[in-house]
Structure 1
Amino acid sequence: MRVDIDGLDVHRGGRRVVADVSIAVPSGTVLGLLGPNGSGKSTLLRAVSGIAAPSAGRVRIDGTDTASLSRRELARRVAVMAQEHSEEFEIPVLDLVLLGRIPHGKGFGRDSDHDIAVAEDALDRVGAGHLADRSFSALSGGERQRVLFARALTQDTPVLVLDEPTNHLDIAHQLELVDLVRGTGRTAMVALHDLNLAARYCDAVGVLDGGRLRTLGPPEDVLGTDLIRSVFGVESTAVAHPGSGRRHFVFDARTPSDTPDPSTPAPDTDHPVPTEEGISTP
C-alpha cells in the first residue's frame, strides 16, 4: 500500500516537533528516516501510525485519510514497532506476539489455530522461536526487539512503521532484521541511526533536522560528508566498499561547534522531479 504524508505538522507539549513534512512512499518500498536525536523521527512515525494526531496536514494510505479510519481499521493496515515499550510485561512471549492478531479477531475468545500458527511462524522468522514460553520481562534488550518485531509481522499489515528496530541488537541480528524487512515486500518506514545500514538496505532515505525534512531521495544521492557535517555535526570520510563498491562512511570526529561551516549546503532543491515510482516529496 502507498503512504502519502501531506504537509504534516505535529505538536507535543505545545512545541512544534514536526513541521510541514510531505513524503510519498510507493507500495512495497522501504523508506529510512534519519536524523539526530530530537529531529522528529519518532513523532513523525507516531503520526503516520495514528498514535499521535497531527495538528495540520494529513496521512493517506492508498488514498484513504487515516483520520477517517477507526483504530481497528487502521491497525489492519499499519503495524507499529514503537521505540517506547514496557520492559516488565509479565506475559509469555507467544501471548505477547499473539496480541498482533487482535485487529483481525471478531471479539474476545481463544486464539484460533491459524492465529497461533501465524505467531509461531513470525517468531521463527526473527530467530526467536525458542523464546515462545519465556516471560517477556525476562528477556534481554535484543531479544525483546526481535519479539516486538515478530508481533508487528503477526499483525499481517501491508504497512510497517518501525522506530529504531535495530536498537539493542548485535550486528548479526541487525543485518538479519533489515533483511527481513526487505523480504516482507511490504511498505516500510523505518527510523534508523546507522547511516551505513540505511544506505545499504533502504530504497530512499529522508533526513530530518529540527522537525523539518532536510532532504529526500536515494541514499547514494542524499547522503554525503557535507550533509553529515551539517545535520549530525560529525566529520566523515566517504570510501568505496571493497566488495560492493557502494559508498561507505567512516566517522572521524565531531565537528567543532564554534567553527562556522561555510560549506553547509542549502536544502536540496536541485534533484530531478521524481517519477511516480520513486519515493518523493509531493
Structure 2
Amino acid sequence: MRVDIENLTAHRGGRPVVTDVSVSVPSGTVLGLLGPNGSGKSTLLRTVSGLATPSAGRVRFDGTDLTALKRKHLARHVAVMAQEHNEEFEIPVIDMVLLGRIPHGRGYGRDSDHDIALARQALTRVGAAHLETRSFTALSGGERQRVLFARALAQDTPVLVLDEPTNHLDIAHQLELLDLVRATDRTVLVALHDLNLAARSCDAIGVLAEGHLLSLGTPDEVLHTDLVRSVFGVESTAVAHPRSGRRHLLFDARSPLEPNDHDPANPSISTEEEITTP
C-alpha cells in the first residue's frame, strides 16, 4: 500500500513540531526516519497513523485520505508500535498479541481459532513463542518490544508504523527485528536512532531536524559526513562496508561546532519539499 504525506504540519503543546513535510512511500518500501531528539519523528509517525491530528496537509493510503477512514478501517490499514506504551495491566502475552486482531473482529466475542493461530505465528516469528503464557508486566524491556512487534504483525495490515522498535533490544535482537521488518514485504515507516542500522535495513532514509524534512533518498545518498556533522553535531568517517560495499559511518567525536541552523543554502542538505523514494 502506497503512503503519501502531503505538506503535513502538526502542532503539539501549541507549537509546530512538524512543518510542511511531503514524502511519498511506494508500496513495500521501508522508509527509515532519522533525526536528533525532538526533531519531530514521533509526531510525524503519530500523525501518519491517525493518533494525532494534522494542523495542515494530509495523509493518503493508496489515494484514500486518512480522514475518510473510520477508526476500525484505519486499524485495518495501519498497525502502530509506539515508542511509549502504558500496557501495565496484568495480561497474558498471548492476549496482548490478540489485541491486534480486534479490528478484524465482528464484535467482542471470543477469539477465533484463526486469530489465535495468527497470534501464535506472530510470536514465533519474533522469537517469543516461549513467552505466550507469561504476564506482559513481568517481561523485560526487550521482551516487551518483541511482544508489541508481534501484536503489530498479528494486526495483519499493509502498513506498519514503528517508533523506535529496537529500544531495549540487544544487538542480536535489533538485527533480527529489522530483518523481520524487511521480510514482511509491507510498507514500513520506522523511526531509528542508529544510523548504520538504518543504512543496513532501510530502502530509503528521511532526515528530520526541527520539524523539517532535510534530506530524503537512498542510505548512500543521504548518510554522508557533512549531514552527520550538520544535523547531529558529530564528526564521522565514511567507509565502504567490507561485505556489502554500502556506506558505513565511523563516529569520531562530537563536532567542536554546534549543529547549524539547517540553512537551505547549505548544499549538503536536500531541501526539496517532496522526493519520491525509489
**TM-score bucket of the superposed structures, by smaller chain:** over 0.9
* Residues 103-123 of structure 1: per-residue CA shift (max 9 Å, x gap): 000001100000000000000
Is 2:169 the partner of 1:169?
yes
Q: Contact 1:229–1:264 (CA<8 Å) still a contact in 2?
A: no
- Specify the SS of the correspondent of 1:180: helix
Corresponding residue for residue 209 of structure 1: 209
Give, in whole Å, the separation in 2 of the partners of 1:267 and 1:194.
Answer: 19
> Residue 159 and residue 260 in structure 1: after superposition, are their counterparts in 2 closer, same or farther (change >3 A)?
closer
C-alpha separation in 2, matches of 1:10 and 1:126 = 33
Q: 1:6, CA displacement in angstroms?
A: 0.2
**Aligned pairs (5 A) from 1:2-17:** 2-17=2-17
Question: How far apart are residue 153 of structure 1 and its match?
Answer: 0.2
Partner residue in 1 for 2:184: 184
How many angstroms apart in 2 are the aligned matches of 1:229 and 1:258?
9
Aligned to 2:254: 254
Measure the CA separation in 1 of the matches of 2:8 and 2:260: 31
Structure 1 position 269, deviation (Å): 5.2
Identity %: 75
Distance 2:268 2:9 in 1: 22
Q: Which residue is equivalent to 1:127? A: 127
Partner of 2:227: helix, strand, or coil?
helix
Cα separation, 1, equivalents of 2:9 and 2:115? 37
Moved more, 222-231 or 255-264: 255-264
Q: Does structure 2 retain, via aligned residues, the 8 Å contact 1:41–1:208?
A: yes
Structure 2 residue 49 is the aligned partner of structure 1 residue 59: no
Question: What is the CA-CA distance between 1:259 and the residue it aligns to?
Answer: 9.2
8 A contact 1:226–1:264 mirrored in 2: no
Residue 31 of structure 2: aligned partner: 31
What is the deviation of 1:258?
5.7
Please name the residue that 1:145 is paired with: 145
Task: Confirm or deny that 1:77 pairs with 2:77.
Answer: yes
Instruction: State the one-letter code of the partner of 1:170.
Output: D
The number of equivalent residue pairs is 275
- Report if the CA contact (8 A) 2:227-2:269 is conserved: no
What is the deviation of 1:264? 5.4
Q: Which residue identity does 2:161 align to in structure 1?
A: V
State the match for 2:49 in structure 1. 49
Residues 259 and 15 of structure 1: is their aligned pair in 2 closer, same or farther, counting only changes over 3 Å? closer
CA contact (8 A) 1:226 1:265 kept: no
Output the amino acid matched with 2:183. Answer: G
Distance 1:132 1:202 in 2: 30
Residue deviations 1:226-281, cap 9 Å, x none?
000000011111111122221110111111246989995453258xx96xxx517x
Task: Quote the Cα distance in structure 2 between the aligned partners of 1:259 and 1:67.
Answer: 37
Q: SS at the partner of 2:251?
A: strand
The residue matched to 2:235 in structure 1 has which SS? strand
Q: CA deviation at 1:87?
A: 5.1
Name structure 1 gaps, 5 residues minimum: none
Say whether the 8 Å CA contact 1:80–1:161 is kept in structure 2: yes
Matched residue, 1:279: 277
Counterpart in the other structure of 1:102:
102
Residue 218 of structure 1 is matched in structure 2 by: 218
Structure 2 partner of 1:92 = 92
Q: Which amino acid aligns with 2:88?
A: E
The RMSD of aligned alpha carbons is 1.9
Mapped to 2, the partners of 1:258 and 1:144 lie a distance apart of 36
Q: 2 CA distance for matches of 1:153 and 1:23?
A: 24
Is the partner of 1:268 in helix, strand or coil? Answer: coil
SS in 2 for 1:6: strand
Superimposed CA distance per residue, residues 31-85 of structure 1 (whole angstroms, 9 cap, x where no aligned partner): 0000000000000000000000000000000000001111101000000000010
CA distance in 2, matches of 1:103, 1:258: 47
TM-score (norm 1): 0.93
Partners of 1:34 and 1:5 lie apart in 2 by 17
Runs of 4 or more consecutive aligned structure 1 residues displaced over 3 Å after TM superposition: 257-267
Cα 1:40–1:189 change in 2 (3 A) is: same
The residue type equivalent to 1:279 in the other structure is T
2:270 is matched with which residue? 268
- SS class of match (1:245): coil
Write the distance in 1 (CA, Å) between the matches of 2:277 and 2:267: 22
Partners of 1:151 and 1:248 lie apart in 2 by: 32
